[in-house]
Chains A and B, each alone.
Chain A
């Protein structure tokens, strides 16, 4: 329990650091992007939108420290300011439209990739020198060397454009309205297949190698030899004894991979015009919608921090040694 609280403390500090970074970033930037922006937007924006921008850049009269605390209290209440491009919609509402799609996309991709990669890693270590062990890792590492979004472009071109098996973009067909019907769900899965598939292909190799290498170390350790010597079935030795222990380094990597996969899926969203955070973020950058941009960064960061803590909980559940304090 102490371990989990310690980790929680760390994530709280990290979250606070992200907030602080978010607050100071626009205020620290060289030159004066704000003035240039105002000059350009003058007459085109409602006064309230100007005020939102003004606040983002710290051009209010209040002293910096007071602005900082106002900012913190606003964020804690879930108020991320007003979007400039989607005026007068609050940033939090704009983000909410894309959040579910990104969580769906990145979440599915991470879980599927982790499950398949780890299983393949177990098999590769078990049947060392077999065809899975000798061909799959280098093939997947080669695929992993391609930029995610480039793989996405190729997949879109080959499977979507040329063969016409998959839709060319968006999260669901234009002719459907979101509802919990079988038809709509099927359409969502059809649209998600390519984006999820490319991220899975690109990240599979890492999980496979990490699991394989860790399995090989564990398979050589004394307790596995003892289990073999006892005459336990090979499948039981590999799965219940070796795999469970070999999984631990992969789980630690899982937390870090989350942020990475999220980044990759942001890029993939652009290729598929998938209406998630990545698409919103790039639109925000292009429209110079700074409040929205920063809001998205904050929400993504907090989501990653939260998932990392969940991973820690799972880690503790898997590894009895970290549970020491409780028994």
Chain B
């Protein structure tokens, strides 16, 4: 462990290194980069997604790469346009969800006592109430649109993050540097933001990634049910229209296949990336990896490896 080159380097460089050294993370980052480009350059790559360009439900052809929808719009153009909306909403909800979760989790873990009891009860209740039905009934009352979707996703998504951050804060709270800060008379706010939260940077990054995966999936699900603004082009509404135009029962696979693949690829890319960050924040995994690499370098085949070494001849 002492020879680990990452120690003390700046966090961004550490992550870049981890992404490069982990094959899965490299793949994940590459996929995400691709979709990022698609989202940014969308309007220059594809035509107007709302334009009626041909006969409805035409299979993929040279003219329309992914065919046309039940209304005669270009599926490829809709997919590209949807990428931007869905990614922006997914990522911003991911960030806000973690912010809310971190704030409540840190407050619970740091102040302890009655505050902890109340806040813990609150997030445990939100964890146990099934999210999708709750999201559906809230969204049904509000005017449909991106703001409603964001609000609903935040309400149903923050609790898990709060729980993880609280547990981590409890552990940090016992450490000497926090006691020292308290004795030195620093304010609660300063201790939380300057002493405790920085120790959780990698955890928080991992949570933002995880929450973005959640937000994209849940958003697509709600829009598929028709709870988004169905006049806007997003990944979820594309699937909504595919289902409503009975794409399946007429065999028009091209109207729903590309969008689902996009959702899955982005989710997969984010998950792969997360595993690299996990490796940094989890010394046990790092140790195991170093050990396996060492064994392989010495010409042995790595066996059952936890940091416990078993000699089995």
Interface residues of A (CB under 8 A from B): 10-11, 13-14, 17-18, 21-22, 25-26, 29-31, 33, 128-129, 138, 141-142, 145-151, 153-154, 156-157, 161-162, 168, 216-217, 219-220, 225, 255-256, 258-260, 262-264, 266-267, 270-271, 281-282, 285-286, 288, 290, 293-294, 296-297, 300-301, 304-305, 308
Contact = CB atoms under 8 A, between A and B. Distances in A.
B260 A154 contact: yes
Interface in B112-142: 121, 124-125, 127-134, 136-138, 140-142
B221 A282 contact: no
Contact of B306 (A13, A217, A293, A301): A217
B59 interface: no
Looking at B221, B267, B303, the one whose CB has the most chain A CB atoms below 10 A away is B221
A304 B128 contact: yes
A18 B225 CA distance: 23
8 contacts: A14-B128, A141-B268, A146-B264, A150-B260, A217-B306, A220-B304, A258-B130, A300-B130
A318 B95 CA distance: 38
Interface of B: 24, 121, 124-125, 127-134, 136-138, 140-143, 213, 217, 220-221, 224-227, 239, 242-243, 248-249, 251, 253, 256-257, 259-260, 263-265, 267-268, 271, 302-308, 310
A297 B129 CA distance: 10
Contacts of B142: 29-30
Determine the main DSSP class of B at the interface with A: helix
A293 B140 contact: yes
Contacts of B308: 220, 225
A270 B128 contact: no
Contacts of A14: 124-125, 128-129
B213 to A, nearest CB: 8
A33 B226 contact: no
B124 A219 contact: no
A281 B142 CA distance: 16
Determine the main DSSP class of A at the interface with B: helix
Contact of A146 (B24, B137, B141, B263): B263
Contacts of B253: 157
